[in-house]
Structure 1
């Protein structure tokens, strides 16, 4: 009887120890990321301890971080600390969820397959997630434009390119900005879904704004206007009812003509660019 009681107490103690812990989960939101786009990781922490976990500030008692390596095992260089604030606390019994963009904090300029693990250090213990993998890719080039930038000794060239990456919802088109000599990419703006029936068009107007016209769906084209640094200013959509939307220059301005797209309109161009006549 006493032995049974001892085993029962031991089982209760072990169960309590198992519950008094931190559970942590992480998941990249995509399998493939284009270099210089937001590289977002979803992180979820369950605080099963009796303490409050404080991730920042003078009362910090826990540290959340990432173990990020290349496929060969080399550590990816971290540029700055992750941006936690004193308000980032996880009370006992609570679940804390965040979407964290790794791009500002790690050197993610090179293509390749990366391994990610997320950890929390607390009370002399470390809690670690399983390994997750994702790919950094330059993406196939669908169009490009190289222009002069700066003046005098600071004069240089900038390359704007249209590149795609596959996602669960379809192929996505990005406008990328990079130094054509070093191939260092500084920005990647997501322009939305794209299909390859008609090749996208890229132009720059007299005010240094960038214009992209691409086929976003069988029945829809999208005209995007961006700053020369890749900030999206505006998007408008055009239908494909037997008339190809046209982008052209008028008095140093870039204009797109066509019939505005009405959601639900299923009319479309009947032929591809190779056979349309």
Structure 2
């Protein structure tokens, strides 16, 4: 009897192990990072793709039957604390048999406050089970500081520190605008300005209306003028075409800031939303002649091509 019960116990254990993969297959989860390398305090955006084959609807709202979170490890077996803010900002319901993509910002929900490497793992809790996605690494860098300006008195509570930082990402150098409230020590925002080449030193200016102006070079003959509010909100951007030595970010006596020495890109009237480069002068506004120029008042003699004779056609004289 004991032997018989032992065999039944072994078969039951094997059956349980065979059922676990089937339960896990009810939920499929894949995810990716927008960037696996970010500058410090830049939003850490991720997209989680969830397929629901559980037989019932999945509700990811704050009071729903499912919860999505991340394990953010700053060291082995050590996770960073949360900020108290929800990871999923808007309600997401995934009906049975459907697939949804959930976009999240890990910086809002987790204290990713140091420049170092992190390991990230998504965890979905649903139906009394936990489903885990693959583990990915995130590299957070402080960035190379290219420019820095301080404005206001710290005692006023409205002082600002703005910096331009650079990291290498996607095989190019990327420039970022960071604004901090130096009175409180809080970062108000970090924004990507795009590609930067360092033939031109980036400039920062503040106008009389409290708007920050940033000018940097994105290509040999292309520049980008970006503007941000005093609270860090992006206001707009304009591309310019110019030579490096001619472009300037000028603050006049009245406190207004403008770009001089360049020509702005304009919107294509035939393709709304598309920018076109300024019209350039012709490459050769005059006729190019090779050789000596003809004298004034005297036409050039016509040029005749020398006749080519074969050696066999020439007369031989002895």
TM class by shorter chain equals 0.7 to 0.9
Number of residue pairs aligned between Structure 1 and Structure 2: 252
Alpha-carbon shift at residue 220 of structure 1 (Å): 0.5
Distance 1:115 1:202 in 2: 35
Partner-residue secondary structure (3-state), 1:207 = coil
2:36 matches 1:34? no
Which range is displaced more, 240-249 or 34-43? 240-249
Q: Structure 1 length normalisation: TM-score?
A: 0.80
Distance 2:239 2:158 in 1: 34
Alpha-carbon shift at residue 97 of structure 1 (Å): 0.2
Q: Larger Cα Rg: Structure 1 or Structure 2?
A: 2
Q: Structure 2 length normalisation: TM-score?
A: 0.71
More strand by share: 1
Q: Retained in 2: the 8 A contact 1:225–1:232?
A: yes
Partner-residue secondary structure (3-state), 1:103 = helix
Match of 2:208?
206
- Alpha carbons of 1:19 and 1:74: their partners in 2 closer, same or farther (altered >3 Å)? closer
Q: Retained in 1: the 8 A contact 2:68–2:88?
A: no
2:67 matches 1:67? no
Alpha-carbon shift at residue 47 of structure 1 (Å): 1.0
Match of 2:257?
254
Q: Retained in 2: the 8 A contact 1:175–1:188?
A: yes
Partner-residue secondary structure (3-state), 1:43 = strand
Alpha-carbon shift at residue 186 of structure 1 (Å): 3.3
Within 5 Å, give how 1:1-277 maps onto structure 2: 17=22, 20-56=25-61, 58=63, 60-80=64-84, 81-85=86-90, 87-149=91-153, 153-155=155-157, 157-168=159-170, 170-178=172-180, 185-241=187-243, 244-251=246-253, 252-257=255-260, 258-261=262-265, 263=276
Alpha-carbon shift at residue 210 of structure 1 (Å): 0.8
Distance 2:191 2:89 in 1: 26
Distance 2:20 2:88 in 1: 35
Distance 2:218 2:121 in 1: 35
Distance 1:127 1:266 in 2: 57
Q: Tell me, which stretches of 5 or more residues in structure 2 are unaligned?
A: 1-14, 267-275, 281-318
- Alpha carbons of 1:183 and 1:74: their partners in 2 closer, same or farther (altered >3 Å)? farther
- Alpha carbons of 1:238 and 1:47: their partners in 2 closer, same or farther (altered >3 Å)? same
Question: RMSD over aligned Cα, in angstroms?
Answer: 2.8
Q: Tell me, which stretches of 5 or more residues in structure 1 are unaligned?
A: 1-9, 268-277
User: Looking at both structures, which has the greater relative contact order when contacts are Cα pairs under 8 Å and sequence separation is at least 6?
Assistant: 1
Q: Retained in 2: the 8 A contact 1:19–1:48?
A: no
- Alpha carbons of 1:66 and 1:164: their partners in 2 closer, same or farther (altered >3 Å)? same
The runs of at least 4 consecutive aligned structure 1 residues that moved more than 3 Å come to 13-16, 153-157, 179-186, 261-267
Post-superposition Cα deviations, 1:77-101, rounded to whole Å, max 9, x if no partner, equal 101232355x411111111102211
Partner-residue secondary structure (3-state), 1:17 = helix
Post-superposition Cα deviations, 1:161-190, rounded to whole Å, max 9, x if no partner, equal 101122227322111123569975332122
Distance 2:101 2:220 in 1: 37
